Amino acid sequence: MKRRAFLGSITGPVVAACAVCMGACSKTTGSDSFTSGGVSANFNVDLLTNITTVGSSILQNGIVIVRLATGNVPASFTAVQAACTHQGTFVSYNQAANKFICPNHGANFSTTGAVTQGPATNPLKVYVITISGSTMTVIG
Ligand code: FES
């Protein structure tokens, strides 16, 4: 696929994720150089149609939200910044390992955002979740 055709085919969440990341980046050289000061939350997620099964996740506003257990209560979910604290690559949730993994240099983070494997040394920001009925609100 030619570059122009490829770029033309990228839409939706990918573009949004890139825009959030680029806007949030404050990148310098060296270890743990990424800060995500631009990512803020205050948005709703409809739990009737999103992250309905344990282990599923969504990326919204630069935040990864994962369902860790059944039931629509805050303890059944975690919401962390998507941008790795090392150099800003978006992490993804690995259900089998129950952790977030950065595909760039292999940093790992627990579901509470703590670093479990470097090279990152700073934790992922964790966002507050509230739930009313089937509506989740992510705050931070
Ligand atoms: S960007 Fe280097 S480990 Fe994530």
Domain count, the chain: 1
Residues 82-96, mean pLDDT to the nearest whole number? 96
2 domain-assigned: no
Percent of the chain's residues with pLDDT above 70: 72
CA of 36 to the centre of ligand 1 (A): 13
56 domain-assigned: yes
- How big is the CA angle at 42 (ends 36 and 44), to the nearest 5 degrees? 125
For atom 3 of ligand 1, the residue with the nearest CA is 105
Residues 67-77, mean pLDDT to the nearest whole number? 96
CA of 41 to the centre of ligand 1 (A): 23
Q: Which atom of ligand 1 is nearest to the CA of 84?
A: 4
**Residue 99 in contact with residue 109, Cβ under 8 Å?**
yes
Q: What is the pLDDT of residues 91-133, one digit of tens each?
A: 999 999 999 999 999 999 999 999 999 999 999 999 999 999 9
Structural domain boundaries, residue 67: 11-139
pLDDT at 6 over 80: no
3-state SS of 86-103 is CCCCECEEECCCCEEECC
Ligand 1 neighbours, Cβ below 6 Å, are 84, 86-87, 89, 102, 104-107, 119-120
pLDDT, residue 40, reads 72
51 domain-assigned: yes
46 domain-assigned: yes
CA of 73 to the centre of ligand 1 (A): 31
pLDDT, residue 34, reads 59
Task: CATH number of the domain at 128, please.
Answer: 2.102.10.10
Q: Which atom of ligand 1 is nearest to the CA of 107?
A: 3
Dihedral sign of CA atoms 27, 59, 80, 61 in order = positive
Q: What is the pLDDT of residues 40-53, one digit of tens each?
A: 778 999 999 999 99
CA of 85 to the centre of ligand 1 (A): 7
